[in-house]
Amino acid sequence: MASAEPRVGQLRSRIEMTLHTYPAVLVWHGRGVESGKPQVVGLKQFLFLAGRIHQAAAKDDPYADEWLLRLENKLDETRQALHQLKQRVSTVLKTIPEGLDVSRNVSQQPFVTPVFTGGQMGWQAVMLLMEYDGIVRDVLLAHHIGLLGNKQRGSMIRDQGGHAMRSLCYAPVKFPGFSGASRDDFAANNAKARAAREKFGELPQDILEGTRRSEFAPSIRREGTEATSVPEEQKLEGADLDDDQLMPQPGETKENE
């Protein structure tokens, strides 16, 4: 009697994110309409929506693949903006004279949360948030030792880095969800495909045919077939912020947003 083929389950890993600054925590959490103020989409909402796009693309929805390409471009744009800002801040900090030893600042009570992203683009967004958190720390340090004025500090934190991160968080907001049609439907030009075209418009031919997909697009799983491989995704439990965790840390004020 032949022995059963050994099976291996999905890989799992617990990953936690640590943020040291109030502006970065605000980007993570966003602001709901219950606050009485205009809603601000946070990175938590970005991860949820990006996960929905990822799932729809796995169902062979070409419209979801187009959205993944949009997110990939937006991530690259945000990465470049933060890189330029980081270089500017680094140039400022290099003016600290030799002999003056200034260690990097850290929060005495950082915000720590487990993270679940739903896809590789979510992980990229999380790492960009952590890069923004590091930039804010450096800007606040440079301001503290007199290398940056109040206006420069506010411009770098809010108008440059903060704007780039908020723009990223809003990128998937208008995703309408699964179109209801797969590439097989478009090949057959059936009722599902015609309804999707009428509702969402035409797609570039290379996206429609599947010859151009995001570098981080998921494997396609068609109904009635098994996936050829199991993605080695890291699945984690999410966490919500309590109100007291949104308060500024000691030494920080809302001016630092």
Determine, yes or no, domain membership for 220. Answer: no
In a domain, 38, yes or no: yes
The answer, yes or no, to whether residue 29 has pLDDT greater than 90, is yes
pTM score, two decimals? 0.81
Residue 67: pLDDT over 80: yes
pLDDT confidence of residue 223: 64
| Tens of pLDDT, residues 32-61 | 888 888 889 999 999 999 999 999 999 999
Does residue 191 sit within a domain?
Answer: no
Q: For 199-231, what is each residue's pLDDT tens digit? A: 999 999 999 999 999 999 999 986 654 443 334
Tell whether 7 is covered by a domain. no
Does 45 reside within a domain?
yes
Give how many domains the chain has, as a whole number.
1
Tokens of 186: 């478009």
Answer yes or no: is 209 within a domain: no
Q: With respect to residue 61, please indicate whether it lies within any of the assigned structural domains.
A: yes
Percent residues over pLDDT 70 in the chain: 82
Does residue 256 have a pLDDT over 60?
A: no
184 located within any domain? no
Domain that residue 47 falls in? 21-96+115-177
Going by pLDDT thresholds of 50, 70 and 90, the confidence category of residue 14 is: confident
